């Protein structure tokens, strides 16, 4: 089997995390927990009865498509998202492949705080080690991403418990029916279905419909908050997603590539469809 970009990402991530641990040991991060800002609830921000909520992503680049934004200003972008109706903001912190940074997360938190926005922030990265969860918390994350496909059940469980133990929430990402079964076994409260296959990078929106079929019925209080992730270009797909029982969408590329970021965020956020 040839090494995919995903394999390269994992291999490099290990090096990155081990290097960070030498710079700032976990004990040091744990000491900083006392002064870290109190997390806001992603779940509450996403679950609106009559609309699809938008998680807008601060995304400079991707491994499959390269750099999206030459003049990338993460705090300005986040401000545009928050002031135009995004319910939450996803901040990519992977350095090598997405050209993100934990520093962006921290500065976005500070910037929005100063402006009076309490928009929850999601740390978007390839998380596999408790160290990264502590890192997220002290950097101002309210929630983190856990990708089921890259974690064994024990690690998944451990990271999930730690996340909630530290007062944050997890967006548990799946791409297949099997992964959905594992997310449900975890009793995950927020489940994201990634329409993009992380191995081939091909995108198919129908993944959301297919993979969500095993969830409790729409309206059932046991049903987790459902997020459709990736490949969403414009508001025209929102009515269909609503029919499929989607509570929120996670959008990066189409926003950062839009000529007018604010207008595109507004278009994706203002979608009141009465059921």
The binding site for ligand IGP (CB under 6 A) comprises 57, 59, 124, 147, 173, 194, 229-232, 250-254
Closest CB 116 distance from ligand IGP, rounded Å? 27
Q: Which is nearer to ligand IGP, 135 or 173 (CB)?
A: 173
CA-based R_g, the chain, Å: 17
Closest CB 250 distance from ligand IGP, rounded Å? 4
Nearest Cα neighbor of 124 from 188, 58, 32, 75 is 58
Closest CB 6 distance from ligand IGP, rounded Å? 9
Q: Which is nearer to ligand IGP, 176 or 254 (CB)?
A: 254
Tokens matching residue 247: 């509570």
Which ranges of the chain does DSSP label H, i.e. alpha helix?
5-23, 26-32, 42-46, 74-83, 102-115, 130-138, 153-165, 177-185, 206-211, 238-243, 253-257, 261-269
What share of residues in the chain are helix, strand, coil (percent, to 5)?
A: 45, 15, 40
Closest CB 194 distance from ligand IGP, rounded Å? 5
Closest CB 229 distance from ligand IGP, rounded Å? 4
Q: Which is nearer to ligand IGP, 85 or 231 (CB)?
A: 231
Give CA–CA dist 215/181, Å, rounded: 9
Q: Which is nearer to ligand IGP, 126 or 134 (CB)?
A: 126
Q: Which is nearer to ligand IGP, 142 or 229 (CB)?
A: 229
Give CA–CA dist 195/237, Å, rounded: 13
Q: Which is nearer to ligand IGP, 59 or 264 (CB)?
A: 59
Closest CB 274 distance from ligand IGP, rounded Å? 26
Tokens matching residue 152: 């064994």
Q: Are 177 and 214 in contact (CB under 8 A)?
A: yes
Residue number closest to ligand IGP, CB atom: 252
């Amino acid at each position: 089997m040839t090494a995919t970009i995903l394999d390269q990402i994992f291999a490099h991530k290990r090096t990155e995390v081990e290097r960070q641990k030498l710079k700032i040991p976990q004990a040091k991060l744990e000491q900083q927990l006392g002064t870290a800002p109190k997390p806001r609830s992603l779940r509450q921000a996403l679950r609106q009865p009559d609309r699809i909520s938008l998680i807008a992503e601060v995304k400079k680049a991707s491994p499959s498509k390269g750099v999206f934004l030459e003049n990338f200003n993460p705090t300005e972008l986040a401000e545009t998202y928050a002031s135009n109706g995004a319910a939450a903001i996803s901040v990519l912190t992977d350095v090598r492949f997405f050209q993100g940074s934990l520093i962006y997360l921290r500065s976005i938190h500070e910037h929005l705080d100063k402006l009076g926005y309490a928009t929850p922030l999601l740390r978007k990265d390839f998380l596999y080690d408790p160290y990264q969860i502590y890192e997220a918390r002290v950097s101002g994350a309210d929630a983190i991403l856990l990708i089921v496909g890259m974690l064994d059940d024990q690690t998944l469980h451990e990271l999930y418990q730690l996340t909630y133990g530290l007062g944050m929430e997890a967006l548990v990402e799946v791409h297949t029916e099997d992964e959905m079964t594992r997310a449900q076994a975890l009793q995950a409260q927020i489940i994201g279905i990634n329409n993009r296959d992380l191995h081939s990078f091909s995108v198919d929106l129908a993944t959301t419909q297919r993979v969500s079929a095993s969830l409790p019925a729409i309206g059932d209080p046991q049903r987790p908050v459902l997020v459709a992730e990736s490949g969403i270009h414009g508001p025209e797909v929102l009515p269909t997603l609503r029919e499929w029982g989607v509570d929120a969408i996670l959008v990066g590329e189409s926003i950062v590539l839009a000529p007018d970021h604010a207008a595109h965020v507004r278009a994706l956020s203002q979608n009141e469809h009465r059921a």
